[in-house]
Amino acid sequence: VTSYRPPLRDIQFVLDHVAGLGEILSSDRYAHVDAETLREVLGEAGRFMAEVVAPTNVDGDRVGSQRKSDATVVTPPGFKEAYRQWVDSGFGAMAFDPDFGGAGFPRVSALAVLEMMTSANMSLSLCPLLTQSVIEAVDAYGSDGQRNTYLPKMLTGEWTGTMNLTEPQAGSDVGAVRCKAEPNADGSWRLFGQKIFITYGEHDLAENIIHLVLARTPGAPPGTTGLSMFVVPKFLVNDDNSLGVRNDAFCVAIEHKLGIHGSPTAVMAYGDNGGATGWLLGDEFGGMRYMFTTMNSARLSIGMEGLSVSERAYQDALAYAQERQQGTAVGAPKGERSFIIEHPDVRRLLMTQRAWIDGMRCLIYSNAAAVDRADAASTPDERVRWQELTDLLIPLSKALCTDLGNEMTSLALQVYGGMGYIEESGMAQYYRDARIAAIYEGTNGIQAADLVARKLGIRAGGVVFDLLDEFDDYARSMAESDVLSAFSASLAAAIETARSATSHLVATATTDLRSALSASSPYLRLLGTTVCGGLLARAALAASNPENGDDEFLSAKISSARFFGEQILPTVSGLLPAVLANSDELYRLTPGQLG
């Protein structure tokens, strides 16, 4: 395991030249933020993640969080101290409302901090990640009293938050939630039921935990329309904001799992001792709507896990490839033991990771920038346009990047050969940690269904077609450059493939939904790869513009974008037959014949 090197210049390059940070900062909403301050804050955050957070990662995996017999949970060595420094740093409040102690920075800058924290220690990063979802929900739908009670302490991180959707019978099917809420005379509610898989449901990092719980009120209709959202603090909060009575919300077990051992995944029992006291957030039956609001940013953050863990694993793989000697590379003097980085297949492993990491970073930061642009829009039309782009890109950021998290950590492990399979090298941890991101926050299958069944429905695929039109401009500009002309041709071909695939699915989704859903995962890969290709074209054009300078960093950016364009982007055409096929082949075998 090498020490973590925060990729500050890579992040800044994408912010400036792909995500359009300059335009965001020039809007009225972000007039108080200047680019130089932002750059310094990111530099400071990078230093913090490398020096304070990253050293806790290996113990986090080996020791893990542990539940004690008194229902408390002890986090691994180093977590408490690193988290205390995180609270002191104020990074958690960066993108939130200044009225509650935030700095009001754009969302995309907070995501850059999250990228580095997740690379440094994915398990620890989940605690602020979930807290931010709770902050967003309380900020958007809470009463003034709730906002004043919970937000200031959650913005600093002194109190943390959890999201409680899942129950044994209610996973992807959130509408099957059974947890019950009964009204009290004073306006509060008593909650009863069990929630499973609750990230940071119990821990020793903060003095209070604010649980957001989806539950059903008496007489509520079945399904998602009957769900309401409740705020259930671990310790009730007194009028003077001091901590009061311990609530009837307890961790009864934590899961033993494949990865993210440092992050406690709790089974929570609400109301076993007479009822957990909670308060309705917003309106009765508003639960699912509120959940959707926080979902976009949570899905973006989980997509980031794919990128962050890939980046960390790549850094280690690159270092190993430069120190491990095996065989004699083609062209090396006879008898020389070459570093494995000289072998073509190892080069391919490294270039593939590098190119996809650049592509993922372009996608996720552009998605987060679209959120900021929607927030900062000066006209309703502009707001709608950025919101539509945000909504389209969310399933791509979440599912493509987390699938790639699995693939890229596997490639990084491969660079290590047998040592990669041995825990000591650290590669196994990245591989195991990355695995969950394709599952939680809506499995990648659910993301693909969302893309095809909902997002393509916006203006009959119009958001996709607008984006592809923009990529056409890049293909035209690249055609004029010697270095980028082959990339230009493959981008033009991918755009055409994506157009046909999209038109086909827009039509099929209304006439044959089962076939459209059968095509959903190959389509997500096809469109996601094309979007990464288009955004990398934007990056390559910026890197080759002499106005932006000329140095090794920029020429390396052009090279990895070209590699993506010439050798990875053409894979989209191979996905088209699976998109155009109907569902017959998937259903030809009976469940018995599949055996």
Q: Tell me whether residue 122 or residue 370 sits nearer to ligand FAD (CB atom).
A: 122
For helices 344-376 and 107-120, angle between their N-to-C axes, nearest 10 degrees: 150
- Smallest gap, in angstroms, from Cβ of residue 395 to ligand FAD? 13
Q: Tell me whether residue 171 or residue 417 sits nearer to ligand FAD (CB atom).
A: 171
Note whether 224 binds ligand FAD by CB under 6 A: no
Among 54, 82, 134, 198, binds ligand FAD (CB under 6 A): 198
Q: Which of the ranges 26-34, 194-202, 325-333, 356-364 carries the binding residues for ligand FAD, by CB under 6 A? A: 194-202
Among 449, 463, 532, 540, binds ligand FAD (CB under 6 A): 449
Among all residues, whose Cβ is closest to ligand FAD? 171
| Rounded Cα distance, 592 and 156, in Å | 55
Yes or no: say if 563 and 351 are a contact pair by the CB < 8 Å rule.
Answer: yes
Note whether 446 binds ligand FAD by CB under 6 A: yes
Note whether 445 binds ligand FAD by CB under 6 A: yes
Among 38, 87, 163, 254, binds ligand FAD (CB under 6 A): 163
Note whether 583 binds ligand FAD by CB under 6 A: no
Residues 234-273 that bind ligand FAD (CB under 6 A): 257, 265
Note whether 131 binds ligand FAD by CB under 6 A: no
Yes or no: say if 215 and 230 are a contact pair by the CB < 8 Å rule.
Answer: yes
Helices (H), 202-343: 287-321
Q: Pull the structure tokens for residue 401.
A: 């990047």
Note whether 436 binds ligand FAD by CB under 6 A: yes
**Which entry of 441, 470, 480, 585 is annotated as an active-site residue?**
441
| Cα dihedral sign, 113-370-21-552 | positive
Q: Tell me whether residue 25 or residue 304 sits nearer to ligand FAD (CB atom).
A: 304
Among 121, 123, 149, 164, binds ligand FAD (CB under 6 A): 164
Q: Tell me whether residue 126 or residue 537 sits nearer to ligand FAD (CB atom).
A: 126
Q: Which of the ranges 5-13, 42-50, 434-442, 522-530 carries the binding residues for ligand FAD, by CB under 6 A? A: 434-442
- Smallest gap, in angstroms, from Cβ of residue 305 to ligand FAD? 11
Q: Which of the ranges 106-114, 231-239, 406-414, 443-451 carries the binding residues for ligand FAD, by CB under 6 A? A: 443-451
Give me the residues paired with residue 506 across strands: none
Residues 63-122 that bind ligand FAD (CB under 6 A): none
Yes or no: say if 118 and 308 are a contact pair by the CB < 8 Å rule.
Answer: yes
Strand, coil or helix: 469: helix
- Smallest gap, in angstroms, from Cβ of residue 262 to ligand FAD? 11
Least Cα distance to 97 among 126, 130, 140 occurs for 140
Give me the residues paired with residue 180 across strands: 192, 216
- Cα–Cα distances in angstroms (integers) from residue 257 to residues 307, 402, 501, 579, in the given order: 21, 18, 38, 34
DSSP code, position 122: H
- Smallest gap, in angstroms, from Cβ of residue 341 to ligand FAD? 35
User: In sequence order, what DSSP letters do the residues of 288-307 get, joined into one string?
Assistant: HHHHHHHHHHHHHHHHHHHH
Note whether 166 binds ligand FAD by CB under 6 A: yes
Helices (H), 96-197: 107-120, 122-141, 144-156
3: number of Cβ within 10 Å: 12
Q: Check if 441 is active-site.
A: yes
Q: Tell me whether residue 166 or residue 277 sits nearer to ligand FAD (CB atom).
A: 166
Q: Tell me whether residue 197 or residue 564 sits nearer to ligand FAD (CB atom).
A: 197
Q: Tell me whether residue 196 or residue 313 sits nearer to ligand FAD (CB atom).
A: 196
Q: Is 206 left (phi over 0), alpha (psi -120 to 50) or beta?
A: beta
- The number of CA neighbours under 13 Å toward the Cβ of 300 is 31
Among 443, 477, 481, 559, binds ligand FAD (CB under 6 A): 443
Host H or E run for residue 411: helix 401-415
| Rounded Cα distance, 382 and 385, in Å | 5
Least Cα distance to 529 among 446, 468, 459 occurs for 468
- Smallest gap, in angstroms, from Cβ of residue 251 to ligand FAD? 12
Among 94, 154, 165, 249, binds ligand FAD (CB under 6 A): 165
Host H or E run for residue 444: helix 444-453
Which residues form the catalytic set?
441
Binding residues (CB under 6 A) for ligand FAD: these are: 163-166, 171-172, 197-199, 257, 265, 436, 439-440, 443, 445-446, 449
